Structure 1
Amino acid sequence: MLLLITLYALLLGSFYNVVGLRVPLKKSIVKPRSSCPYCRHQLAAFELIPVFSYLIQKGKCRRCKGRISPLYPFMEALNAGLFVLAYLQIGMQMELLAAWTLISMLIIITVSDLKYMVIPDKVLLFFLPLIIIERIFIPLTPWWDSLAGGALGFGLLLLIAIISRGGMGGGDIKLYGVIGLAVGVKITILSFMIATFLGAVIGLSALAFKLIEKGKPIPFGPFIAAGTILAYLYGDIIISGYVSLFY
């Protein structure tokens, strides 16, 4: 089972790369076929095997030797790892479908935000009805937790954006509204706390090591994705561990 999930998720991860890279540019996700960004060589099937093609070709185009971004195999492997992790944590239950849907959305927006600093509305609008349908048939407890989580996620980031006068992007605000519907109030709050903590630590570290320039914005979407997945899969453990420090 683990092998099947891994192979399936690797293939999906490759497709999610295409979606995340093409949708912000308003390009078709079906055609043209994937090609080298340097010499435009159309990639053959054996050059499109997730992760393995990158390793076999040593991260370079087979024809022109142009360097291929490590983002591709990283996101493919990450998607596979998260799909497996969700299965191990949740088991073969209906909730696993909701988990895989959430992970899929977060992988795509991470690719887009890392590449273009954009969280595409089209991606959110695609996943929104899926998550609504899933929460109708796989409801949280209580059932209204999804609605409250969606309102909280959207409202909280909107309030921060207003107070900070644009310190929070519109894509982040809408993304948290969708996340809230998927995970409910408690996990939405924990997700935001973790995302903010990770963003602050990594952002300050990048500044300290001069990896980014002062005042230059960094994408918050990947931190939202990381915080959401950690909170969703390990929320109870994190909360229990935090409470035990004080009681």
Structure 2
Amino acid sequence: MEIVAFLFVALCGFVFGSFFVVVGIRLPKRESFVTERSRCPKCCKRLNWFELIPVLSFLCLKRKCGQCNHKISSIYPLMELLTAILFAMSYLIFGWKLELMVALLFSSLLIICLVTDLFYMMIPNRLLLFFLPLFIILRTVEPLEPWWDPFQGALVGLLLPLLVIILSRGGMGMGDMKLFGLLGLVLGTTKLLLCFVLACIIGAVIGVLLIAYQRVSLGKPIPFAPYIVIGAWIAYFNGDNLIDLYITRFITFY
């Protein structure tokens, strides 16, 4: 029974992952992602059901549109696979608990933010506003310890990036600041700070590598949301272990 539930959640991840890519691409352009069927971005051919099977369709079509041979972005299967992994991981960690709903919505938000930032270097306000009441309700019903920590985390998540924006004169976008505020509501204060530190470290390391290999030029803006997403996932799923490790190995040592 457990294996059936695990496979069901993973399958839902594949299906929703495909939908999240469509949302991430269409939402910033204010295009409908509910009533309009998926189509080729070049020739606008509407896709048949067998062209919408997550990952498999991408492989069977050999990464091309069946009509115009336009190359299909690898982001589609990658996000589908990543969503399935995150959904399955959430089930393995939390089981059929209310926190599973938090984990699934949290992963959904981050996947869509990842897509929007990679394609447009923006995080739509409408996306954050959609998830905001859901997380408020869930953190009220399934609170952290202490109960007010999510709201303190949200405040810190807004103020800390705002300080960076002011001091660096635009080194971080307002969309990133709003995203951190929403993440603080889910993670709480301590894990939000861990997420922020991890995002900055990962962003700095990858940024230096991209510049060193001349993939981006110095001073050119690059999407920061992918690093926030990685930091948020690490903090949410493994934050307690990392914080305990830091306290026992470093703070206790000194």
Alpha-carbon shift at residue 43 of structure 1 (Å): 0.4
Partner of 1:210: 214
User: Which residue of 9, 17, 20 maps to 1:16?
Assistant: 20
Alpha-carbon shift at residue 63 of structure 1 (Å): 1.4
Matched, 1:67 2:83: no
Counterparts of 2:170 and 2:16 in 1: how far apart (Å)?
Answer: 34
Matched, 1:49 2:44: no
Query: Which deviates more from structure 2 when the two are superposed, residues 135-144 or residues 81-90?
Result: 81-90
Alpha-carbon shift at residue 31 of structure 1 (Å): 3.4
**What is the aligned residue count?**
247
User: Which residue of 189, 192, 196 maps to 2:193?
Assistant: 189
Counterparts of 1:182 and 1:211 in 2: how far apart (Å)?
Answer: 34
Counterparts of 2:231 and 2:48 in 1: how far apart (Å)?
Answer: 37
Matched, 1:30 2:48: no
List per-residue Cα deviations over 1:47-95 (Å, max 9, x = no partner): 0111110011111111121110001111111111111112222232111
Alpha-carbon shift at residue 241 of structure 1 (Å): 2.8
In the TM superposition, what are the counterparts of 1:5-154 in structure 2 within 5 Å? 5-154=9-158
List per-residue Cα deviations over 1:87-142 (Å, max 9, x = no partner): 22223211111111111111101100000001000000000000001011111111
Counterparts of 1:152 and 1:137 in 2: how far apart (Å)?
Answer: 22
Alpha-carbon shift at residue 4 of structure 1 (Å): 0.3
Identity %: 48
Counterparts of 1:69 and 1:90 in 2: how far apart (Å)?
Answer: 33
3-state secondary structure, aligned to 2:188: helix
Counterparts of 1:201 and 1:61 in 2: how far apart (Å)?
Answer: 36
Partner of 2:167: 163
One-letter identity of the residue aligned with 1:202: I
Counterparts of 2:90 and 2:204 in 1: how far apart (Å)?
Answer: 26
One-letter identity of the residue aligned with 1:28: S
Unaligned runs of 5+ in 2: none
List per-residue Cα deviations over 1:6-61 (Å, max 9, x = no partner): 11111111111111101101111123311112222110011011111001111111
Alpha-carbon shift at residue 244 of structure 1 (Å): 4.2
3-state secondary structure, aligned to 1:213: coil
User: Which residue of 225, 228, 233 maps to 2:229?
Assistant: 225
Partner of 2:182: 178
Counterparts of 1:228 and 1:184 in 2: how far apart (Å)?
Answer: 11
Counterparts of 2:213 and 2:248 in 1: how far apart (Å)?
Answer: 34
List per-residue Cα deviations over 1:170-200 (Å, max 9, x = no partner): 1001111111111100110000011111101
Counterparts of 1:23 and 1:188 in 2: how far apart (Å)?
Answer: 26
Structure 1 segments (4+ residues) deviating >6 Å: none
Report the TM-score, using the length of structure 2 for normalisation.
Answer: 0.94
